[in-house]
Structure 1
Amino acid sequence: MLRALSRPATRLMERWLPDPFIFVIVLTLLAAVAAIVTQGTSPVALVEMWGNGFWALLQFAMQMLLVLVTGFILASSPPVKRLLAAIAGLATSRGSAIILVSLVSLAASWLNWGFGLVVGAIFAKELARQIRVDYRLLVAAAYSGFVIWHGGVSGSIPLTIATEGHFTAEQIGVIPTSETIFSAWNLVIVLALVIAVPLVNRLMMPLEHEQVLVDPAKLDGTASSRRLPVDATPAERLENSMILMWLIGVPGLVWLAFYFAGGGGINLNVVNFLFLFLGILCHGTARSLLGALEEGVRGGAGIVIQFPFYAGIMAIMTDSGLAASLSEWFVSISTAQTLPFWSFISAGIVNIFVPSGGGQWAVQAPVMLPAAEALGADIRRVAMGVAWGDAWTNLLQPFWALPMLGIAGLKARDIMGFCVVQLLITGIIIGVLLYLL
């Protein structure tokens, strides 16, 4: 049944889903029209909001570009290639390859969302080198594991409300992660997804004659260190010096050791720092490292051009009051029992336009928290409802898929048909469990 469902979904997306750049332009226009019609925002004010917010994600865009590049650098190094090949060797069939990449992506995304995006993509490529399996589904399976991130240890909303002095601390106090991320009911949702996501991906696997395969030779990077000629110049010797790489790489790892020993947590900057300095040591020479860098940067064009447009959409949604109005409507039809569920649904819709967990919480918390108090709802489950909604519709929103697609060498339309099926099934699982638990 799922295979039959995935066929028309895949054909529909391949035919009608445009490049993510067109998608973001359409979302911009939709947000603008909705703000004018529902909020009474004037066109002049709308343009000012959009332009003022256009560059608000510059730091984040650079971080995401580095997720792609540093992850690719590390993955293309000889030691990591050998490790990935060994793990991929555990897959002995097409079905086991799909299940394995799903589980690896789920585990990595639960630990850290940036780590999950990179590891899932590079592991999918390695599996495609060894197993003749539909490459689109491999990458879609890797991306589907991302649905779990906001219920994991890098979830921005539960980490925010667990931090002393957060912006709603006077209203709800500090809620430890033991009552959100590590609560029994949240772990039940995580476990249900760990079981369901790989199973759904496996059941969507096309028949052998329907597969879209990729030539393994096209997945091999061109980055490699050249053999040093006998008459090498001093510049060439420096470019191929392992000593220089160790002199800079080891201090980087020492700093990380001090950072974690001092109680530092995992964030995007730390992940990028770790990938980069491990990549420096694993490549061994600057020439090998720079070859991988040149190849990795090619996949980052979408991030560079699209993230400013998403920042503009976020500004329209938040400054016009559109996101808050949408949340208020869902609150108006909620009870204490159903508010976590409707928080999940509303967050999923808002996430299409505001694909940022932290930014979304800033928009929805002023609406959801007073409603939870007035209705007597569980604030912890309401907050996690917003978190899960933010993670859920990432399966439809190509914003977060860009780094993975850049590494895998695919377009959004190649994987979104499979992701839509996962969207439907994971939405039912998360929504039902938020309502019942």
Structure 2
Amino acid sequence: MLRVLSRPATKLMERWLPDPFIFVIVLTLVAAIAAIATQGTSPIALIQMWGDGFWALLSFSMQMLLVLVTGFILASSPPVRKILQSIAGLASSRGSAIILVSLVSLAASWLNWGFGLVVGAIFAKEVARQVKVDYRLLVASAYSGFVIWHGGLSGSVPLTIATPDHFSQAQIGVIPTSDTIFAPWNLVIVLAVLIAVPLVNRLMIPLEDEQVLIDPAKLADQGRPAPMSQHPTPAERLENSRVLMWLIGIPGLIWLALYFIGGGGLNLNVVNFLFLFVGILCHGTARSLLAALDEAVRGGAGIVIQFPFYAGIMAIMIQSGLAASLSEWFVSISSAQTLPFWSFISAGIVNVFVPSGGGQWAVQAPVMLPAAEALGADYARVAMGVAWGDAWTNLLQPFWALPMLGIAGLKARDIMGFCVVQLLVTGIVIGGLLLLL
């Protein structure tokens, strides 16, 4: 049934889903029209909001570009490549390849969302080199693992409310991760997702004559360093010096050790720092590192041009009151038992326009938390409802797929048909458990 369902979904997306740049322009227009129609925002005021917020994600855009670049540098280094090849060798059939990629991506995304995006894409390419399986579904399987991230160790909503002096502490206090990430009911949802996502991906494998395969030669690394000449210059000797890389790489690892010993936690900057300096040591020479860098940067164009437009959409949604109004409508039809579920649904819709976990919580918390207090609902469950909703519709939103697509060499339309099927299934699984547990 899922194979039959994925067939028209894939064809629909291939025909109608434009490039993510067109998608973000359409979303901008939809958000603008909705703000004018429902909030009474004047066109001039709306343009002012949009322009003022356009560059609000510059720091985050650079962080995301570095997630792609540093992650690729590390994953393409000789030692890590051998590890990935060994794990990929466990896949002996199309079905086992899809399940293996799904599980690796889910596990990596639960640990850290940035790590999951990069490792999933690199690992999918490695498996495609060894097993003949539909490449679109393989990459879609890697991306579908991202749905678990907000229920994991890097979830921005549960980590925010567990941090002293967070913006809503006066209302809800500090909620420890034992009540959110590590709560038994949340772990049940995580387990259900770990089972459902690989199973659904496995059941969507196209028939033999419908598969879209890729020539393994096209997946060969382009970033191989040029060999050193027979009579190297001093500059070439420096570029191929392992001592130089150790002299800069070891201090980087020492800083990381001091950071974690001092109680520091994972965040995007630390993950990028880790990827970069472990990558420096694993490549061994500057020439090898820079060859990988050249290949990695080619996939980052979408991030550079699209993230400012999403910042503009976020400004429209927040400053016009559109996001708050949408959340308030769902609150109006909720009870103490159903508020986590409706928080999940409303967050999923808002996430299409505001694809940022922390930014979305800043928008929805002022609406959801007073409602939870008035209805007597559990704050932790409502917060995690928003968190899971934010992660859920990333399966439809190509914003987060850009780093993975850049590494894999595909377009959003190639994988989104499969992701839509996952959207339906995981929506039932997560939403149903939020109601039942």
- Tell me which residue corresponds to 1:424: 424
Report the secondary structure of 2:175's partner residue. coil
- Tell me which residue corresponds to 2:253: 253
Q: Which runs of 4+ in 1 moved over 3 A?
A: none
Partner Cα distance (2:3, 2:227) in 1: 49
**1:47 aligned onto 2:53:** no
- Per-residue CA deviations over 1:386-412 (Å, capped at 9, x if unaligned) read 000000000000000000000000000
- Give, in angstroms, the shift of residue 207 of structure 1: 1.2
Partner Cα distance (2:71, 2:208) in 1: 32
**1:398 aligned onto 2:411:** no
What amino acid is aligned across from residue 330 of structure 1 in structure 2? F
What amino acid is aligned across from residue 299 of structure 1 in structure 2? G
Report the secondary structure of 1:121's partner residue. helix
What amino acid is aligned across from residue 305 of structure 2 in structure 1? I
344-353 or 373-382: bigger deviation? 373-382
Partner Cα distance (1:117, 1:14) in 2: 22
- Give, in angstroms, the shift of residue 227 of structure 1: 2.5
- Give, in angstroms, the shift of residue 224 of structure 1: 2.0
Partner Cα distance (2:287, 2:377) in 1: 58
- Tell me which residue corresponds to 1:80: 80
- Tell me which residue corresponds to 1:108: 108
1:127-146 equivalence runs, <5 A: 127-146=127-146
Report the secondary structure of 1:224's partner residue. coil
Partner Cα distance (1:350, 1:423) in 2: 15
Partner Cα distance (2:186, 2:125) in 1: 31
- Tell me which residue corresponds to 1:299: 299
How many residues get paired?
437
- Per-residue CA deviations over 1:26-51 (Å, capped at 9, x if unaligned) read 00000000000000000010000000
What amino acid is aligned across from residue 148 of structure 1 in structure 2? I
- Give, in angstroms, the shift of residue 282 of structure 1: 1.0
- Tell me which residue corresponds to 2:178: 178
- Tell me which residue corresponds to 1:350: 350
- Give, in angstroms, the shift of residue 210 of structure 1: 1.1
- Give, in angstroms, the shift of residue 214 of structure 1: 0.8
Report the secondary structure of 1:232's partner residue. coil
For structure 2, which runs of at least 5 residues remain unmatched after alignment? none
- Give, in angstroms, the shift of residue 209 of structure 1: 1.6
Report the secondary structure of 1:265's partner residue. coil
Partner Cα distance (2:209, 2:263) in 1: 53
What amino acid is aligned across from residue 279 of structure 1 in structure 2? G
What amino acid is aligned across from residue 13 of structure 1 in structure 2? M
- Per-residue CA deviations over 1:144-174 (Å, capped at 9, x if unaligned) read 0000000001000000000000000000000
Partner Cα distance (1:250, 1:226) in 2: 25
1:200-239 equivalence runs, <5 A: 200-239=200-239
User: CA-atom RMSD, angstroms?
Assistant: 0.6
Partner Cα distance (1:15, 1:227) in 2: 45
Partner Cα distance (2:297, 2:383) in 1: 37
Question: Is the CA contact (8 Å cut-off) linking 1:132 and 1:213 kept in structure 2?
Answer: yes
What amino acid is aligned across from residue 133 of structure 1 in structure 2? V
- Tell me which residue corresponds to 2:153: 153
Partner Cα distance (1:389, 1:55) in 2: 26
Partner Cα distance (2:190, 2:287) in 1: 42
- Tell me which residue corresponds to 1:167: 167
- Give, in angstroms, the shift of residue 226 of structure 1: 2.7
- Tell me which residue corresponds to 1:330: 330
257-266 or 299-308: bigger deviation? 257-266
Partner Cα distance (1:171, 1:356) in 2: 23
Partner Cα distance (1:306, 1:58) in 2: 11
114-123 or 222-231: bigger deviation? 222-231
- Tell me which residue corresponds to 2:341: 341
- Give, in angstroms, the shift of residue 79 of structure 1: 1.1
Partner Cα distance (1:194, 1:218) in 2: 31
- Per-residue CA deviations over 1:74-105 (Å, capped at 9, x if unaligned) read 11111111110000001111100000000000
- Tell me which residue corresponds to 1:4: 4
- Per-residue CA deviations over 1:158-215 (Å, capped at 9, x if unaligned) read 0000000000000000000000000000000000000000000000001122110111
- Give, in angstroms, the shift of residue 378 of structure 1: 1.1
- Give, in angstroms, the shift of residue 120 of structure 1: 0.3
- Tell me which residue corresponds to 2:124: 124
Partner Cα distance (1:77, 1:416) in 2: 30
- For normalisation by structure 1, the TM-score amounts to 0.99
- Tell me which residue corresponds to 2:274: 274
Report the secondary structure of 1:200's partner residue. helix
For structure 1, which runs of at least 5 residues remain unmatched after alignment? none
- For normalisation by structure 2, the TM-score amounts to 0.99
113-122 or 221-230: bigger deviation? 221-230
Partner Cα distance (2:183, 2:77) in 1: 39
Partner Cα distance (2:422, 2:23) in 1: 20
- Tell me which residue corresponds to 2:98: 98
- Give, in angstroms, the shift of residue 109 of structure 1: 0.4
- Tell me which residue corresponds to 1:199: 199
- Give, in angstroms, the shift of residue 356 of structure 1: 0.4
Partner Cα distance (1:117, 1:393) in 2: 16
Partner Cα distance (1:320, 1:134) in 2: 44
410-419 or 221-230: bigger deviation? 221-230
Question: Is the CA contact (8 Å cut-off) linking 1:225 and 1:285 kept in structure 2?
Answer: no
Partner Cα distance (1:392, 1:228) in 2: 49
- Give, in angstroms, the shift of residue 230 of structure 1: 2.3
Partner Cα distance (1:263, 1:403) in 2: 30
What amino acid is aligned across from residue 22 of structure 1 in structure 2? I
Partner Cα distance (1:186, 1:337) in 2: 16
What amino acid is aligned across from residue 362 of structure 1 in structure 2? A
- Give, in angstroms, the shift of residue 289 of structure 1: 0.7
Partner Cα distance (2:227, 2:340) in 1: 60
Matched-pair identity in %: 84
Question: Is the CA contact (8 Å cut-off) linking 1:394 and 1:400 kept in structure 2?
Answer: yes
Report the secondary structure of 1:227's partner residue. coil
Partner Cα distance (2:2, 2:214) in 1: 23
Partner Cα distance (2:127, 2:208) in 1: 17
- Give, in angstroms, the shift of residue 278 of structure 1: 1.1
Question: Is the CA contact (8 Å cut-off) linking 1:344 and 1:388 kept in structure 2?
Answer: yes
- Give, in angstroms, the shift of residue 225 of structure 1: 2.7
